[in-house]
Amino acid sequence: MSKIIDRQISKHFKGKGHFNRDTLSSFLTDLDPEITESVLTWRIHDLVKRKVIDQVKMGIYTISDKVAYQPFVSDKLARLSKIVAKEFDELDYCLWSTEWLNDFTRHQLGTFFYILEVEKDFVEEVFNAYSESKQYRVYLDPKEDIMERYVESEISIIIKPLITRSPIQKIAIKEKSKDKVYVPTLEKILIDVYSDTVTFYAIQGSEMDTLFENALKRYQINFTKLISYARRRNKEEQIKSYLENNFGDFVKDILE
């Protein structure tokens, strides 16, 4: 029965862009006039969970035709994560490589570095722990001149304070592995690149436009999560204006 409903939903809403909960509820009620509100709520949750539809923001959905962003965790990044995971047990952190940006940009980054964000009260301790390893060049939230002059190799690590309630995800280091690493969601990456022109000085202007365009075209974006994080970075109105002015077709009726 669920597969029949899935096909009917896909057929009815395909090509219609975004639709709200009331529209979806009305359609499901037409299919089953005796459906209760509690079952309706469960069914919508189940449709999202099974990726029949995507929730692009609270109460707004679209037919699921994009994949979730799943970055590649290299062996080097996995090794880096073990230092913070073992020496600072239960510490909130987020680790990633700017090499991931090459999936979205027009011009490939020739050099890249790692970004490790941790709870602000532990930034210096984590910085010292990584500095003890002579394998890496470690920088503590460097300013623009340091970024442009010295942070230019894949053995560089930028240590920064983690903004509270940042959207991060836990993914396996290898397929079926029990070892996990905390990395940013795509929503966090986009907002960080937009907000932090010092760290991401090489991804500005038209290059940033390309990054956003490719992310919006290819991957599922949760706009509730994206805007909420932008608010945490005091960039809510700016990012809304940027998206509406440059990617109106992607965000129509979503940012209201």
| Same-domain pairing of 163 and 81 | yes
pLDDT category of residue 120 using cuts at 50, 70 and 90: very high
Structural domain tally of the chain? 2
Which domain covers residue 21, as residue numbers? 2-63
Residue 240 inside a domain? The answer is: no
| Same-domain pairing of 85 and 110 | yes
Residue 178 inside a domain? The answer is: yes
| Same-domain pairing of 22 and 121 | no
Q: Is the pLDDT at 163 greater than 60, yes or no? A: yes
Residue 9 inside a domain? The answer is: yes
Return d(Cα 168, Cα 171) in angstroms, integer.
Answer: 10
Q: Is the pLDDT at 99 greater than 70, yes or no? A: yes
Return d(Cα 20, Cα 81) in angstroms, integer.
Answer: 40
Please tell me the predicted confidence (pLDDT) of residue 152: 67
Q: What pLDDT, in 10s, does the model give residues 187-198?
A: 999 999 999 999
Q: Is the pLDDT at 144 greater than 90, yes or no? A: no
Residue 247 inside a domain? The answer is: no
| Same-domain pairing of 152 and 97 | yes
| Same-domain pairing of 41 and 107 | no
Q: What pLDDT, in 10s, does the model give residues 59-87?
A: 888 887 788 899 989 999 999 999 898 88
Residue 243 inside a domain? The answer is: no
| Same-domain pairing of 79 and 116 | yes
Please tell me the predicted confidence (pLDDT) of residue 248: 86
Which stretch of 120-124, 137-141, 173-177 has the lowest confidence by average pLDDT? Answer: 173-177
* Domain-ending residue, one of 24, 43, 63: 63
Residue 241 inside a domain? The answer is: no
| Same-domain pairing of 94 and 191 | yes
pLDDT category of residue 139 using cuts at 50, 70 and 90: very high
Please tell me the predicted confidence (pLDDT) of residue 1: 55
Q: Which H, E and C letters describe 34-58, residue by residue?
A: CCCHHHHHHHHHHHHHCCCEEEEEC
| Same-domain pairing of 82 and 110 | yes
The contacts of residue 54 (CB under 8 Å, 6+ apart) are 48, 61, 62, 63, 64, 66, 220
| Same-domain pairing of 14 and 98 | no
Please tell me the predicted confidence (pLDDT) of residue 218: 92
| Same-domain pairing of 79 and 197 | yes
Please tell me the predicted confidence (pLDDT) of residue 126: 95
For residues 80-109, average pLDDT: 90
| Same-domain pairing of 200 and 114 | yes
* Domain-ending residue, one of 41, 63, 85: 63
